[in-house]
A and B are shown apart, each in its own frame.
Chain A
Amino acid sequence: MTVELFGMARSLAGVAHVELALEGPVALPQFVHALAEAVPALVPDVIAPARDAFVEPNLLLLDGRRAPRAGETFDAGDRPCVLFLASGG
């Protein structure tokens, strides 16, 4: 599964894409765990130390368009992107 990385995730990983050895549909906690295994540098700034959730406001959007619903599974065809938006000050 190819994962597109943006912002902090890209900066810490040093790459724009990462390949995860995941076969078939996965749910979010499984995906986050696999991503943490593949790119340990994402813990703890992007992925929480328990490796089961993103540190807000980092989030996963499928094809950059929507977050998976609770319990929903997704696969490589959903084109997962890890990103965040930031404004304020």
Chain B
Amino acid sequence: MAYAGPRDLLEVDLTARTARRTPLPDAVFADALGGVGLAVLLLEQRVHGPIDPLGPDNPIVFAAGPFASTPVPAANKHALAAISPLTGLLNEGLSSSHFSAVLRRCGLAAIVVTGVADAWTTLVVDGEAIRFEDAQPLVGLSAREATKALRERYGDRSLRVCAIGVAGERGVRFASVENDGRQAGRGGTGAVFGAKRLKAVALRGRGEVGVADAAATASLAATLRERALGPKTAKYRILGTGANMRVLQRMGQLPTRNFTAAQFAGTDAVTPERARESHDTYVELRAGCAGCPVQCEHLYVRKDRDRRRAAASEYESTWAFGPNCGVDDLDAVLDAIGRCDELGLDTISTGSAIAFAMECAEHGLLPRDAFGPALAFGNGAVLLPAIDAIAQRRGVGDLLARGVRAAAAAIGGDAAAFAMHAKGLELPGYEPRALPTYALGLATCTRGACHNRSATYDRDLRDPSTDPDPQARAADAIAAEDRAVAWDSLVLCKFVRDCFVDFEAEAAALWSAVAGLPLDGAALRAAAQRTWERKRAINARLGWTPDDDRLPERLLTEPIADGPLAGRRLEPERLARMQDAYERLRAAAGTAAPVA
């Protein structure tokens, strides 16, 4: 049986204003599955050595999830990959909702965009037709405004658009790409769009998306949907990830004021749960991706304000502007998140850049009046001016727009000690000194400091040994990495991770029913391992070596300063032992067999 899903690859050259559409062979899908697996395969075929992430040769790859536009729930997602201007390495993000589904309804498995347009451009994929349209009237607009304008121009509210905001246009190295109110946030793919003068990609497609075995797909999808409406996802439906904040505070591992502390006195004031509990003050709005029963997004806005200004309250975003900046003003935090979405900025990197600047100012390395209100931990009034300056690349904002690694190098002095990143990507809101397996995964992650490519903290929570068995922790980290690749290739939302009894067997059966090609649990594992190997191979071509798998010095030299875990260290020797074990296990696993 042949691959049943949309199989075309659309290759677009913005310099030449050409587009070529070719079908991908079955072997590609058998090898890479879809999503991140497919995006990484297509990048591996195009990245042969160091390239300028903001130059014409950096390919932007959209790769549809193999379950998008099918009955499978929590799966209308796509991968968005490019070489990151923040890390100089591979960056594969995910986004979701209608855009992902329509990508497949256009008959496409993937789009690869190279070159640089000579003027701001919207790439329009209208079924089989491809157009390069003048995007100058959209410049300066947010992604949401650009989407609205394009829909008005086409008189079609079903037009699906992904676009960048001002930050991407200006080349902020952690600019995001947005579609349907969802963001591929991390790693700066928005700046790659900007460098190509690609303001937006608009899709219109109404083709049928076939599945190989409709009855089996419907049955498996119904089971998954039923589970996704049950207790396994209640935490996301009812609370969202914002509930992490009180938990991490209680555990003594809430990164605070740029990781100088692990306890934040203002936690209860700034946790999204407070907004939920304050019915008299805040309105809660719910949102979610197309075709997803979980509807995980919880947005809040004060009752006396315009509901269109409601801001998403994911843990990472509220942490980045709350505890990490020492700000205990929930309104300031929600406004900061909303402004980032409006300007097209990754909230984690933006909050981290501001926290870094606050610490630099504390040590006299940056002026305290750089953004007007005092650039100091705890001052919520400085968040919006700082965010605006970053997006517009004004003054110190221009410095921060390069990311904390590059900003620290430009500032000099002790600034590097305050730059909390791995391989250039700013750290998310978990405390590696308290979570050794997570720390290992953070160091080895091919993307830099991403919490979603090796979320191994569960093992650490259950066994928070300060002297971990390196072999066991390394095996856990590898299993978590490969599992994440499988999720991201399929592309299933990780919020349904607990809805599978035997993930590999069930997910493989689901893919096989949809795609029409054989796959079992072992083959799924092998596909994930192959993609991980490709990720590392791409990074190696870009200049990465294992010596780059480092964590910030602060985490290795300073113990946790306060709270119940005060004194807890991440000993460099222990991390090194785990990394050695990791490399030995990866080497011993050999190379996953290629698909014939």
Contacts and interface: CB of A to CB of B under 8 A. Distances in A.
B239 A11 contact: yes
Contact of A83 (B236, B250, B455, B464): B250
B462 interface: yes
B448 to A, nearest CB: 16
A44 interface: yes
A55 B238 CA distance: 15
Given A7-B235, A57-B498, A87 B451 contact: yes
Interface stretch (A22-30, A31-39, A61-69): A61-69
A67 B494 CA distance: 24
| Interface residue range, chain B | 35 or more
A6 interface: yes
Nearest to A44: B231
B361 interface: no
B541 interface: no
A72 interface: no
Nearest to A7: B243
B243 A66 contact: no
Contacts of A81: 250
B250 A45 contact: no
A57 B241 CA distance: 13
B235 A84 contact: yes
Contacts of A45: 231, 234-235, 238
B231 A88 contact: no
Contacts of B231: 44-46, 55
Interface centre among B238, B246, B247 (most CB of A within 10 A): B247
Interface string B227-248: 0001110111011010110111
B495 A84 contact: no
Given A8-B243, A11-B239, A88 B464 contact: no
Interface in A70-89: 81, 83-89
B497 A55 contact: no
Contact of B235 (A4, A8, A64, A89): A8
Nearest to B77: A89
A13 interface: no
B73 to A, nearest CB: 14
A45 B237 CA distance: 11
B241 A87 contact: yes
A61 B248 CA distance: 12
A64 B462 CA distance: 10
Contacts of B497: 88
B526 to A, nearest CB: 23
Nearest to B497: A88
Interface centre among A45, A55, A59, A87 (most CB of B within 10 A): A87
Interface of A: 4, 6-8, 10-11, 44-46, 55-59, 61, 63-67, 81, 83-89
Given A84-B243, A88-B452, 16 more contacts: A7-B235, A7-B243, A44-B231, A56-B498, A61-B461, A63-B564, A64-B250, A64-B252, A65-B252, A66-B463, A84-B247, A85-B457, A86-B495, A87-B451, A88-B495, A89-B94
26 contacts: A6-B246, A8-B234, A11-B238, A11-B239, A11-B243, A46-B231, A56-B498, A57-B458, A61-B251, A61-B461, A65-B464, A67-B462, A83-B250, A85-B247, A85-B248, A85-B461, A86-B235, A86-B241, A86-B315, A87-B244, A87-B316, A88-B493, A88-B494, A88-B495, A89-B94, A89-B241
Interface of B: 94, 230-232, 234-236, 238-239, 241, 243-244, 246-248, 250-252, 273, 276, 296, 314-316, 451-452, 455, 457-458, 461-464, 493-495, 497-498, 564-565
